[in-house]
Structure formats: structure tokens, C-alpha cells
Structure 1
Amino acid sequence: MSLPTLGTLQVRPVTDRPDLVPSPVRDALDAWPAADRVGVAEIDPDLADTAACSEAYAVPLGVGANCVVVAGRRDGEERVAACVVRADTRADVNGLVKRLLDVRKCSFLSMDRAVEESGMEYGGITPVGLPARWRLLVDARAVELDVALIGSGVRRSKLLVPGSLLAELPRAEVVEGLAR
């Protein structure tokens, strides 16, 4: 099976470079039959932010996908979701996401909690290997990408995933209009 390529990134099968992902991501990939279609590229960690990575590695911004973690409360119960949206859009946190979580107010999970609970680095959080109690909301436009460049769980690498595979992640809910 051939791996996706993008820009000047040097892509390897993620199964050949488990050192480039943290243990929650590695464990999820080990259990995922489609892992052989996922590539990984080592990058400069100072260039992990989407815009900087796109510019440095000649990757169109429109193929990047970001994963943001949000939370809200209803009747004393906290509801957490990771939202995957194309990098050229923003999650509709206080509109559709708030309604999907059925909460009065929705906000980004604190950096400390997101890092601690996911086992991933801030700025590298990926939808692969998230905590089981978190919902995973994926914008339909991200699923339509031929190749999505997403975080790997650490800032020193990126995953290259066919967009259609984002819909196949455990607990993924594909949502029309998740982003604006």
C-alpha cells in the first residue's frame, strides 16, 4: 500500500517509526487495521504550529487538520469532545459543538488537563488514541481531504492520514458544519 505524500515532508510508515508518536497513539495504531495507510514525518518541533509547518514544508494550509479539545457541563456532568477541523476553518465551539454536547457553555479544555488526560503534547494532540470518555467530532470537510496532515501526539512529527480514515477512528462522529 502506498503512503500519502505532501510537500517536502519525508514520509515513512508510522509502523516503522513508533518512536515518533507517544504511547497512547502507538497503542491506538497497533489496534487499528488501517494503520498501514498512515504515514509519519519528523519535523522541527518549533514548526509544529499549522501555519509554520505549512510554510516550512510546502504543504497547502487546506490539507492540514487541527484537533481541539473542548468541554462543557450539564447537570453537574462534564462533557468533553475533541473536534477535528480543517486548518483553514475553525470549530463552531459556541454554536454546533455546544449543541452537540448539550451544554450551556463550551470552552477549550485547559492545556494542563488536555496534556495530562491525553498523554500527548500540547500543540500535537491528535484524534488517534484519545481517552475513551472523550467524544470525537470530525468535520465532514476534513473527511473529504485526500490526505490530512494532523498532529501525531508530539510536536516533533505529523501524521499523514487519508481523510476518509478520520471517519473510521474509534468513536468518530462525522458532523456536517462542525467548522466555519
Structure 2
Amino acid sequence: MRTWNIAGSLTVEPATRRPDLLAEPVAKALPALPKAEELGVVEIDPELADTAEFCAAYGSPPSASANCVVVAGKRAGELRYAAAMILATTRADVNNVLRRRLDVRKASFAAMDEAVELTGMAYGGITPLGLPDGWPVLVDEAVAAAPELVIGSGLRGSKLLVTGDLLAGLPGAETVPGLGKPVS
């Protein structure tokens, strides 16, 4: 397994050896990933799963954290979903970039219960690995270019350590310039 510089004070283990630290859909998706043996997983306090608390508690840089947001919109009565991967230091451009990419009149963040039910993952831990078939995974170009990232594991009690290349190469993934806008 590779060495992760962003782990802070956490002990990194190979994700393939710790399926107990992954939501079921994530654990099922892991074997199909290229270089799955290189992915790291860290166990954390579930109360510290939100990015700011996680980074402060464990010494991981916020600039190396990426968030997965589930977005929904309707077109001709059809409900469309997508996952958007953005750096934690940015906000997803839902009203312009995501709305156009989903080809809907109005896009918004999916309701918490809806996102949890559809993904089989815990809110605050949703990750692009193991999402429902057919969902596009829209990856901000800064995320795709990142050498190391901390992302959700599908649970609040752990985090995955991945590369931007891995996220950009997921089935259904598309690198989208301007998806993440700086927080003002």
C-alpha cells in the first residue's frame, strides 16, 4: 500500500482489508476498481465526520478533502440524479454547471433521506464509489488533478484516501471544469 501524506494523526489501512469500515455498496464496488489495493481507509470518531471537525481533530489539510453531493432535477417528468465531487474548500455550482449538465430546468441538492435511501450510505459519508448504476459522477477538475484526497466511505465512522485520478476514472465519471466555485 502507498504512503498517504494527508492522513494527519490517523493510521491508514488498506481499504480492501477493512470492509467493516465501508458501507455495503462501497465494499461491493471496491474489487472492481483499478489499483483497489492502493486505497486507504481510516477509522474516525463518527461525531467528527464533517470536514471541518475531521480536519481539525486529525490534522488533515482541508484542501485535500473532497465532498460528494447528490443533486437531483426533473426533465419531462423524469427525475435525474448525479453525484458531484468538489473540494471541501469550494461549493458546487448547482444552478449553472450542474443544472446544465443534468439538462434540467432546476437542479437542487437531493433531500437527506432520499440521498441516504438511494445510495445505501450514511448522510455525511456518501461517496462516489458504489453509487446506483447509471448515475453520472461529475468530478471538478481540481478534484481530478489532486494527488491525494480524503473522501467519505459511505459511513460516518471512517474515511477513504484516494487519488483524483481514481475518481476521474470511475465508471460514469466525467471531469467538469468550473463545477466547484470558491467559497466567498
* Map of 1:146 onto structure 2: 147
* Map of 2:170 onto structure 1: 169
* Map of 2:128 onto structure 1: 127
| Separation (CA, whole Å) in 2 of partners of 1:58 and 1:11 | 14
Q: SS at 1:36's partner residue?
A: helix
Q: SS at 2:72's partner residue?
A: strand
* Map of 1:137 onto structure 2: 138
| Separation (CA, whole Å) in 2 of partners of 1:27 and 1:66 | 21
* Map of 1:19 onto structure 2: 20
| Separation (CA, whole Å) in 1 of partners of 2:168 and 2:112 | 26
Deviation at 1:140, TM superposition (A): 0.7
Q: SS at 1:90's partner residue?
A: strand
TM-score computed with the length of structure 2 as normaliser? 0.95
* Map of 1:89 onto structure 2: 90
| Separation (CA, whole Å) in 2 of partners of 1:95 and 1:75 | 19
| Separation (CA, whole Å) in 2 of partners of 1:44 and 1:21 | 14
Cα RMSD after superposing both structures: 0.9
Deviation at 1:4, TM superposition (A): 2.1
* Map of 2:44 onto structure 1: 43
| Separation (CA, whole Å) in 2 of partners of 1:77 and 1:29 | 30
TM-score computed with the length of structure 1 as normaliser? 0.97
* Map of 2:35 onto structure 1: 34
Unaligned 5+ segments in structure 1 are: none
Deviation at 1:5, TM superposition (A): 3.7
1:6-55 alpha-carbon deviations (Å, 9 max, x no partner): 21121000011110001100110022132111100000000000010011
1:109 maps onto 2:125 in alignment: no
| Separation (CA, whole Å) in 2 of partners of 1:34 and 1:41 | 18
- Are the equivalent residues in 2 in contact too, given 1:138–1:166 (CA < 8 A)? yes
Report the residue type matching 2:71 in the other structure.
V
Alignment of 1:45-84 (within 5 A): 45-84=46-85
Residues 13/3 of structure 1: CA separation in 2 closer, same or farther (3 Å cut) = farther
Deviation at 1:145, TM superposition (A): 1.1
Aligned residues: 180
1:118-137 alpha-carbon deviations (Å, 9 max, x no partner): 01000000011100132110
Identity %: 56
* Map of 2:4 onto structure 1: 4
Q: SS at 1:122's partner residue?
A: coil
| Separation (CA, whole Å) in 1 of partners of 2:81 and 2:144 | 21
Residues 128/3 of structure 1: CA separation in 2 closer, same or farther (3 Å cut) = farther
Q: Which consecutive segments of 4 or more residues in structure 1 shift more than 4 A?
A: none
1:94-143 alpha-carbon deviations (Å, 9 max, x no partner): 11100111111111111111111101000000011100132110001001
| Separation (CA, whole Å) in 1 of partners of 2:110 and 2:134 | 14
